Chains A and B, each alone.
Chain A
Amino acid sequence: GENVEQHPSTLSVQEGDSAVIKCTYSDSASNYFPWYKQELGKGPQLIIDIRSNVGEKKDQRIAVTLNKTAKHFSLHITETQPEDSAVYFCAALPSGGGADGLTFGKGTHLIIQP
């Protein structure tokens, strides 16, 4: 089955700086890669996703890049703000649908230092 590795487990950046979180996946047939943000006391929320037919997608201060050859994808947050502090999860979905759905990384705790 699919295996998703996520790094780093904790990331501390100064407010205003950029943050990058990286994930690798094992199943070359995976074709959908979402990112979720989980704030304290809440469930994860989808913030951006990318499909295997594109290499990059942007939404204001966040972007995701995908390198299918190397089987890795990354989340980029620019001009970080205090409200970006949260746990971020990457995930991958095999092209067969993965009847059991997404495989998640273990999460990155992003801390924005004032």
Chain B
Amino acid sequence: DVKVTQSSRYLVKRTGEKVFLECVQDMDHENMFWYRQDPGLGLRLIYFSYDVKMKEKGDIPEGYSVSREKKERFSLILESASTNQTSMYLCASTTGAQANYGYTFGSGTRLTVV
């Protein structure tokens, strides 16, 4: 089974801190995604990557950046955490040039910014 592992289940950070969320997948998938999930808003795409060193902005990239130095790892960076970035963050990966084989999600990281 494909596994997508997110390094932390729960994180509490202070306003202004630089925050790193890590995601690792073990099935050589090309495409990786970061979403945030908020009640009533569903899953919103922050950034995605379809290859090493490649990154593309999603629908809500402001305040975030990403890094993909190795194929299996996709990191989400909050440059200066703010309280409105308190949310559940989900990482996903998939194979196929057209991403139509279904995503595998990690278990999520619940981030609280105080």
Contact = CB atoms under 8 A, between A and B. Distances in A.
A73 interface: no
A55 interface: no
Interface stretch (A13-21, A39-47, A60-68): A39-47
A101 interface: yes
A86 B56 CA distance: 31
Contacts of A41: 107
Interface residues of B, number: 26
A79 B28 CA distance: 38
A102 B108 contact: no
Interface residues on A, range: 20 to 34
A31 B104 CA distance: 19
A98 interface: yes
Residue of B99, B102, B105, B106 most packed against chain A (CB within 10 A): B102
Interface of B: 4, 31, 33, 40-43, 45, 48, 50, 56, 58, 90, 92, 94, 97-100, 102-108
Interface of A: 6, 9, 31-32, 34, 36, 41-46, 49, 51, 89, 93, 95-102, 104-107
